[in-house]
Amino acid sequence: MRLRAGERCPIHHGYYCCGRGKQYRVNERRGPITRVPDPHHPRGYREICTPAELRRRTLTKVVKQKGICPICLKPFNSMDEVTHDHILPKKMGSSERDDHVDNLQAVHILCNSAKGSIRNYQPPDRKLAASGEREDAIDL
């Protein structure tokens, strides 16, 4: 019969006998970036970052983008409205998540929500500008 973790041994009246030692947690420090081998990826690996590393990379992207959101092309008013966005989406359950610097961009929170997990996303106002149509144009 196997004893549960918090159950005393009926023979020895102890918690740490009969093959049950103290359970020490092994704290593995992986670092801020983990490389996952992926033969289907062009680089041959994917990067998975900690949340702190993602924040650091997002701040770096804000500086490189000169404070402008690449989706709506409007400047950031404060850092409260900035979040990171994966250019190639993470997919369902983050199974193919890639946090590499080239796959991240700093965007507004609302722009990220509107984009969702769509590849090659263009906002509706850019689609109209590209096609030459205007919303306020009236056909007579």
Domains, in order of start, for the chain: 49-131 (1.10.30)
Residues 6+ positions from 104 with CB-CB distance below 8 Å: 54, 57, 58, 61, 84, 85, 86, 87
The dihedral formed by the CA atoms of 89, 95, 100 and 104, expressed in degrees to the nearest 10: 20
Whether the full predicted model's pTM is greater than 0.75, yes or no, is no
> Taking 50 as the threshold, does the pLDDT of residue 24 lie above it?
no
Rg over CA atoms, the chain:
25
> Taking 60 as the threshold, does the pLDDT of residue 23 lie above it?
no
Q: What is the pLDDT of residues 87-113, one digit of tens each?
A: 988 876 677 888 999 999 999 999 999
> Taking 90 as the threshold, does the pLDDT of residue 64 lie above it?
yes
For residue 127 the two structure tokens come to 């689609």
| Section 32-59 average pLDDT | 88
Percentage of residues in the chain with pLDDT exceeding 90? 31
Distance, CA of 19 to CA of 1 (rounded, Å)? 12
